């Protein structure tokens, strides 16, 4: 991943295996390791760190955020719950992962961080009517409550948000969400579900093309 060359990564020594460590060393010009919290804080204070990979520890994440508001964090934990997701909103720039041994999951998480670092954007997106979307963890919130969507609903909303600068065609939606097995009834039902749990105008129909997110 050549994009990683421009960024400095600091990872917990006991968290990632040799394969992932070699990956970071190969693609990042400056890859640092830490063994404990004090070492991590010292590195952040003395080096320009862009991405931290660590075990989940809320107090540690708060310290990192106080020291640097721009650092993106990949946090590993065994169990995700509503509290963790709310904390990700509060601190921002936190991507949770559960399978740190999966190289593809790890690379995808890095790519998401790099994309936002490059564009200087936050992963927390404010929608209308008080709704908030966490692009890293793909969750929708309102009034500190997570809005539960079906699996396809989450995929469709995320697809719309990722492509928020354009209208998505029926063909693109069919390919991405339904693997080319979409019916018009299924699409209408999915849009109805999302609108019912959010607000009617969140998804706009673009005549003759398809749909887009309304920001």
CATH code of the domain made up of 149-213: 1.10.10.10
Locate 210 and state its tokens.
Answer: 């398809």
pLDDT average, residue stretch 106-130: 89
pLDDT average, residue stretch 64-82: 91
The DSSP-derived string for the chain is -GGGGGSEEEEETTTS-HHHHHHHHHH-SEEEEESSHHHHHHHHHHS---EEEEE--HHHHHHHHHH-SS-EEEEE-S---HHHHHHHHHH-SEEEES-TT-HHHHHHHHHHHHHHHHHT--SEEE-STTEEEETTTTEEEETTEEEP--HHHHHHHHHHHHTTTSPEEHHHHHHHHHTT---HHHHHHHHHHHHHHS-GGGEEEETTTEEEE--
Of 107 and 191, the one with more pLDDT:
191
Locate 24 and state its tokens.
Answer: 């970071």
Give percent above pLDDT 90 in the chain: 71
**pLDDT attached to residue 2:** 63
Q: Where in the chain are the domains?
A: 2-120, 149-213
**pLDDT attached to residue 164:** 94
Note the pLDDT tens digit of each residue in 206-215. 999 999 999 8
d(CA 38, CA 155): 39
**pLDDT attached to residue 13:** 83
d(CA 103, CA 95): 15
Does the structure show a pLDDT above 80 at 48?
Answer: yes
Q: Which CATH class is domain 2-120?
A: alpha beta
Q: 104 φ, ψ to 5°?
A: -65, -40
**pLDDT attached to residue 100:** 66
pLDDT band at 77 (very low <50, low <70, confident <90, very high): confident
**Strand pairing partners for 9?**
31, 51
pLDDT band at 79 (very low <50, low <70, confident <90, very high): confident
Does the structure show a pLDDT above 90 at 30?
Answer: no
Does the structure show a pLDDT above 70 at 41?
Answer: yes
Residue (of 109, 10, 94, 7) closest to 52 by Cα position: 10
Does the structure show a pLDDT above 60 at 43?
Answer: yes
**pLDDT attached to residue 5:** 83
**pLDDT attached to residue 98:** 85
Note the pLDDT tens digit of each residue in 162-196. 999 999 999 999 999 999 999 999 999 999 999 99
pLDDT average, residue stretch 88-115: 86
- The model carries a pTM of 0.87
pLDDT average, residue stretch 72-77: 93
* Maximum Cα–Cα distance across the chain: 58
């Amino acid at each position: 991943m050549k994009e990683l060359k421009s960024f400095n990564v600091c990872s917990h020594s006991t968290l990632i295996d040799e394969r992932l460590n070699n990956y970071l060393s190969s693609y990042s010009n400056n890859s640092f390791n830490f063994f404990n919290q004090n070492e991590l804080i010292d590195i952040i204070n003395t080096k320009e760190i862009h991405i931290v990979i660590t075990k989940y520890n809320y107090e540690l994440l708060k310290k990192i955020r106080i020291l640097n508001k721009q650092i993106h964090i990949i946090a590993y934990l065994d169990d995700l719950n509503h509290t963790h997701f709310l904390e990700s909103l509060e601190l921002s720039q936190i991507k949770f992962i559960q399978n740190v041994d999966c190289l593809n999951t790890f690379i995808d998480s890095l790519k998401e961080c790099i994309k936002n670092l490059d564009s200087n954007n936050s992963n927390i997106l404010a929608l209308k009517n008080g709704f908030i979307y966490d692009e890293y963890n793909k969750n929708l919130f309102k009034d500190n409550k997570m809005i539960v969507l079906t699996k396809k609903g989450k995929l469709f909303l995320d697809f719309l948000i990722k492509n928020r600068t354009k209208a998505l065609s029926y063909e693109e939606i069919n390919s991405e969400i339904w693997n080319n097995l979409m019916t018009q009834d299924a699409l209408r039902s999915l849009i109805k579900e999302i609108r019912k749990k959010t607000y009617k105008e969140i998804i706009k129909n673009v005549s003759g093309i398809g749909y887009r997110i309304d920001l």
